Amino acid sequence: MDYRDYQLASYKHLSTCQSILDSISIFTAAKDPNALIIKDLKVSSVLSNVFYLSGYTLEGIINYAIYKHFKWKLPSVQETDHSFSNKCDLSFFPNCQRKTGGTYNYCISLHQFQRNIQVLTKALPSSGIPLIDRSVAIDPTVLKLFMAWTVEVRYHKVAANYSTVPINLANVTKFVDATDLVYNGLMKLVG
């Protein structure tokens, strides 16, 4: 996999999330129960999936930004480049051995973007990007959803709450809006 694939997937997921939320908002505003294609019982399922895809959007753009910022040069991210990994303390696989002993602290394959974002926080501390620049205020709901996201979200029941935050239109919209800020901020910064 080429590292640029992370950016492409991230863009695709973000666009999908925004389109779904726009559609739900438009049809909900119509106040015509027949106008909303997604009936009430399924809206919560759709919102859970939007939350799930938003997490993958964040994961993708964070991974892309790390590879781009630290100048990844190999054809596949699954290869080992100790020169790259020594700069950012990150490898694709967990337990990747350093040449000097020990392992790198961060890895891509475990989907722990909440940890991996720390690589960018250290490299870009004054970026002005939410979740990366510690001086940028974050809505507590967004932060809780960010910390609660895991790949296992796809297996949760439709009405499941993540952390103490209910998955509803308002909260998922806040999360997608924050995701958009992170995505666009990183694209402006690292290209």
pLDDT of residue 31 exceeding 90, the answer is: no
What is the CA angle 72-185-168, rounded to 5? 115
What pTM was computed for the model? 0.93
Rounded CA gap, 41 and 30, in Å?
18
What's the pLDDT tens digit per position in 102-161?
999 999 999 999 999 999 999 999 999 999 999 999 999 999 999 999 888 877 766 566
- Which residues on adjacent β-strands are paired with residue 97? 103
Q: Cα–Cα distances in Å, from 159 out to 51, 143, 156, 165?
A: 12, 20, 8, 11
Contact 54, 183 (CB under 8 A): no
What's the pLDDT tens digit per position in 159-183?
566 667 888 999 999 999 999 999 9
Rounded CA gap, 69 and 123, in Å?
9
Mean pLDDT, residues 14-34 taken together: 84
Rounded CA gap, 97 and 101, in Å?
6
pLDDT for the residue 181: 98
Residue 178 tokens, joined: 């924050």
What's the pLDDT tens digit per position in 68-112?
999 999 999 999 999 999 999 999 999 999 999 999 999 999 999
Phi, psi torsion values for 24, nearest 5 degrees:
-60, -45
Mean pLDDT, residues 16-31 taken together: 86
pLDDT for the residue 42: 78
pLDDT for the residue 164: 78
Count helices and strands in the chain by DSSP H and E runs: 6, 2
Looking at per-residue pLDDT, the higher value among 70 and 24 belongs to 70
